[in-house]
């Protein structure tokens, strides 16, 4: 009887220490993501009455070299409002997803936030339409570079 308990205990030790790492948490289930998502309400400030909306363009490229989990995604908020979300894994046709579309910016300052689940971090930028309305997020090894350019 004593040998059975010892063998059972040894079996548990071997199973627990077999070198397997626990799987990473789902991309939406990290404390950092939940904190970022909950903080978006702070950037929802009303536009001044009669302030014009300024047309702009936003491009987000997929982090090709950093998509370790099938559920990884990029999510973008503009002035605290959900703008887009797309999965960053390679598409069946072999291409990497990206987003390129028209946006409506407020005249003056705006907040643009990109959440990158592959790096589990936020990339926040304040943009002013007087400095340009063409916005681009380009992936790097560490996260994302952001560029704001004037439309010609």
Beta-bridge mates of residue 92:
none
Q: Quick one: residue 74, left, alpha or beta (phi over 0 = left, psi -120 to 50 = alpha)?
A: beta
For residues 148 and 134, the answer to whether their CB atoms sit within 8 Å is: yes
For residues 82 and 75, the answer to whether their CB atoms sit within 8 Å is: yes
- pTM > 0.95: no
pLDDT digits (tens, 9 = 90+) for 6-58: 554 545 444 554 555 555 555 667 899 888 888 888 777 666 556 788 999 99
Q: Which domains does the chain have, with CATH numbers?
A: 28-44+52-149 (2.60.40)
pLDDT digits (tens, 9 = 90+) for 46-77: 665 567 889 999 999 999 888 667 788 999 99
- Pairwise CA distance, residues 55 & 14, whole Å: 61
Q: Which DSSP letter does residue 114 get?
A: E
């Amino acid at each position: 009887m004593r040998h059975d308990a010892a063998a059972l205990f040894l079996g548990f030790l071997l199973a627990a220490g077999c070198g397997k790492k626990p799987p990473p948490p789902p991309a939406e289930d990290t404390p950092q993501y939940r904190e970022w998502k909950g903080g978006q309400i702070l950037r929802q400030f009303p536009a001044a009455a009669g302030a014009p909306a300024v047309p702009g363009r936003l491009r987000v490229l997929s982090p090709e070299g950093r998509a370790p989990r099938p559920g990884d995604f990029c999510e973008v908020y503009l002035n605290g409002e959900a703008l887009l979300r797309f999965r960053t894994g390679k598409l069946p046709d072999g291409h990497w997803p990206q987003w390129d579309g028209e946006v409506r910016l407020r005249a003056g300052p705006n907040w643009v936030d990109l959440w990158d689940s592959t790096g589990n971090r936020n990339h926040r930028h304040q943009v002013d339409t007087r400095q340009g309305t063409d916005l681009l997020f380009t992936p790097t090894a560490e996260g994302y570079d952001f560029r704001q350019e004037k439309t010609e």
